[in-house]
Amino acid sequence: MNRLLPVFLIGFSLALLFQGCSSGDFESQILPYEDRNGNLFSEEVFPETGLEAQNGDSGAVSGSNSGLDSGLASSYGPSSGSDSGSDSGSDFSSGSSSDPKACSASKLQDIVAPATSSNAFVRVDCMLNLKSSDVITKRLVYEGAGASNLTLNCNNAKLLGNNGVNDGKDMITVKSIQDGSTYSRPENIKISNCIVEGSIRVMGLGQNGEAESVLLSSRSSGHTARAQQAAPRNIEFNNIAIYSKNRVPLYFSPGVTYSKILNSTFKGTSGSVVVYLDAESAYNTIKNNEFNVTTKSREVIAIDGSANNQIINNKLTELGNGGIFLYRNCGEGGTIRHQTPSYNVISNNYFYYNNYDGKLPPIWLSSRDGARNYCEHDKGYTFGSSESNLDHASSNIISNNKIQKLSPSKMIRLGGSATKNVISGNKQVE
């Protein structure tokens, strides 16, 4: 009995600490316990079963690492002081003609003109305020520091990429551009009230973890900091309706930080996942969204070597291939993933299952742990995924999530390298 007392006190303290994270009650009747990896539970969860998380990977998939600066270990999730941007979207600029940054008449004419094979996109460097009747078939590209501090309010205008000139392309791209030995990155962009038939991507060093610039950077220490310094920061998407067709609907590429997807809906199909947080990205927020996308073989949300993110108050359906998986890609394309999928908060989400065959769970920590044939492609270095093929999902908080028709014991699965995670208050609902 004396040996159980310290564990009980730890669990009670954690319950008080995270009470403000959710409106739900912790399951106080369940005595917390700690496993041999230091994971603290208030409910039973399934250990890793040896089943692979996915079938094959697409070329857009990557992730892994050895961790952020040790200073991040002092708290879970993004600090409130760094969390800029409103969840309501009420602070968007009108982009009116009186605004010196408002798009000119000629720029507006270029934006609304039909896309052609020789004129398929437009660079946006101004405050853009569309009309609800507008139908945009060109890709909107925000690139470099010159695109910082801008807003796009679609006012429910449509961005149509599926089945047109831009079929299979990203209808909104926010990207850094190389400027000599450094990168010019866009910051503080807010995009709201858009109907997007297509996909969205935010990218810095490269469009995914296998890009040459990402690969080269990964071969020396300090890669996480370089990737984050090069990538867009504080990019907010609010009240976006995304209808995807096979392509990943929303992709945050390596190094993207402090960015958000809020109050949005996802429908359609994806050949991979629905939302991808790639390696070395951090401090991003996925909140108040609904996911109803049919994936070919992948989970809904991939946390691939991404840390300190918040995934809160979302509703996920179409979960036959899994819900939210935390891992890091070991060596795909030869890139060393430096950061581990750690210090993430997954709380107050609702998982709906109509049918379930028991193979892939709603939440899986360390879902891969080296179970890929390319894990040795980054060997030869003493850091990151070159040093260890395991995922090392650690110090994450999984709390107060609800799942329809399944018990919490089937809600969460732990891989062998998942350590020091806090799992509490997750419940079955009818």
Q: Per-residue pLDDT tens for 81-118?
A: 333 334 544 343 444 445 768 999 999 999 999 999 99
Please state the pTM of the whole predicted model: 0.83
pLDDT at 47: 79
Full strand arrangement of the beta sheet holding 135-136:
135-136, 158-160, 195-197, 241-246, 265-270, 290-295, 315-316, 350-352, 402-404, 427-429
For 114-143, what is the mean pLDDT? 97
Domains annotated for the chain, with CATH where assigned, are 48-429 (2.160.20)
Q: Per-residue pLDDT tens for 262-273?
A: 999 999 999 999
Bridge pairing between strands 275-277 and 301-304: parallel
* DSSP code per residue over 128-167: EE--TT-EE-SEEEEESGGGTT-EEE-TT-EEE-TTSTTT
pLDDT at 424: 95
